[in-house]
Amino acid sequence: MTKETLDFVTPLSAEKLQNFFGVFLQFQIGVDIMTRFEPLTDAALQATAEDGLTVSEIKSALERHGLDAKHVVHDPSRALFSTYYADFDHGLYGEIFLQRNLLEGTLPLYAVASRLNGGTVPQLVSRQWVSYYTKCVPLPMLIYDFQRRYLDIPTEEVFQVWHSIYKRIDYSNGMWRPEVLDYVFSHAPVPEYPVPGPDGLITLYRGMGTLSAPPDQAISWSTHPGNALWFAVHTGCGTHVAVARIRPEQIVWYADKFYNENEVIVRPGTITEYRYEDMIPATKRHVPAILAPALPEFIQYGRQAQKLGYQEENIFHFHGLKHILRVLLLSLIYFYNAGDPLSTADKRVLIYFSLLHDIGRVNDDKDDTHGEKSVSLIHSKGLRIKDLPMDKKEYRIAELLIRYHCRDDSIGEKAILSAPGLSQKEKAHTIHLYQICKDMDGLDRVRFNGLDYRRLRTDYGRRLPLVAGALLDEPVVHALDMDWSDIISTVSDNGK
């Protein structure tokens, strides 16, 4: 099975499979910023408020705190955070909750208004612009305020203030007026340009999701593909990593270093020629199809992984049960979808590697010896995987892969080539399995922004970074406790 759409997975309809695999596609996407600023009307309230709240009640509640209802703005396109008090002149902002009991309570807005007593927020008086936009203006109102006030900000500060806002907003597609960007960018500090290639051009990368602006309208790029991939993975459904080449003088601003995201700012419309990396989009059209054939064995052997003693990850622990399950799932996805002529014995080796490659790891530091420790632990405890029949040669190959998976490729390949008892053909094939295992393990480095996909070894592995990123937010442990019997039966029948 190598198709990447749902038309081949019969007899289930595409719609049923997409709904079924919803557990694997828990994407959280949304737009931070209000895009419409309309007066709040009784008609809008009827569509939003559940307790019969009226505009006159809101007006009366605000007046009791010295506030004027003329400053209320509403965005009917938003279900949450849709209504704000926006007194631009005094820099006084606050969310208005469209429920009677909350409106009559103690809103933060009321406390700020009481302290100001009709005055202006101190940060605006003292022109502490970054502090003002950080502390006084709610996220949904940032662009609204800045685009009305940017000419008041000193020219030597305006780009820094804009950038401090821009970094906080996930999606601002088309919300920045062209004349605002022209003004801000014309006052950007002169950057130290990235080092160009021999042809004088600089290579840029951009990670994209379903809500991202198209590359020719994009503002942010990166000089490092790892940073771009991180953004693709963390912007809803990762759809693309775009690649472009530009002249240094086309760059507005550049912040080097990985912790600065190697960010490059360009004017919208600067980049007209670009390409997309050949990656499978993490969308409901593509992901369920490649997951389907892998599901039966993922459930079967994933449940065994739970019994091996792996702990679940936390903020300080990266190599736990979820990592093992994701490597298992990626390995099975590879086996069933790569078009690589692997055998059933190869599949057993991949499963064995996935489940046991980190069994001897005792910390999350760089540890070139944890592969050897894993093999030693396998031997000392006599570990075997239930219902995974392997012969002696398969065990030897799997343990070679485990022992050297954390070593440099050259060291591992040299060890495989010098291993006794394997023919030259078997050694060449074992090196291929070694590359697959290192790729499937390496793909999960997306979880800590540590994957440079250019270094992946297999063609299909290089197509999986967005899929690997999508798995980070999926309940892979919880999925093992669900009843998948009807789908497993269907997938198994389809594979016969």
pLDDT tens string 391-443: 999 999 999 999 999 999 999 999 999 999 999 999 999 999 999 999 999 99
Q: Which two tokens stand for residue 34?
A: 């209000």
Q: Which two tokens stand for residue 195?
A: 């080092």
Strand 263-266 to 251-255 pairing: antiparallel
Partnered with residue 245 across adjacent β-strands are: 203
* Torsional sign, CA 433, 435, 436, 437: positive
Q: Which two tokens stand for residue 44?
A: 């809008």
Residue 178 has a CB neighbour count (10 Å cut-off) of: 10
Q: Which two tokens stand for residue 194?
A: 């990235």
> Rounded CA gap, 363 and 368, in Å?
12
Partnered with residue 93 across adjacent β-strands are: 86
Share of the chain above pLDDT 90, in %: 64
8 A C-beta contact, residue 251 and residue 266: yes
Closest of 438, 435, 437, 439 to residue 467, by C-alpha: 439
Residue 170 has a CB neighbour count (10 Å cut-off) of: 17
The residue ranking higher by pLDDT, 177 or 310, is 177
Q: Which two tokens stand for residue 378?
A: 């396998």
Average pLDDT over residues 106-111: 86
Instruction: Tell me the Ramachandran region of residue 319: left when phi exceeds 0, alpha when psi lies from -120 to 50, beta otherwise.
Output: beta
> Rounded CA gap, 458 and 256, in Å?
30
- Inform me whether the pLDDT recorded for 290 exceeds 70: yes
8 A C-beta contact, residue 412 and residue 437: no
pLDDT, one tens digit per residue, over 362-380 is 776 677 888 899 999 999 9
- Inform me whether the pLDDT recorded for 234 exceeds 90: no
- Inform me whether the pLDDT recorded for 25 exceeds 80: no
> Rounded CA gap, 111 and 108, in Å?
5
Give alpha helix (H) positions in 155-305: 155-166, 178-186, 225-233, 287-291, 295-305
The residue ranking higher by pLDDT, 21 or 93, is 93
Supply the pLDDT for residue 318: 61
Supply the pLDDT for residue 224: 94
Give 299's pLDDT tier (boundaries 50, 70, 90): very high
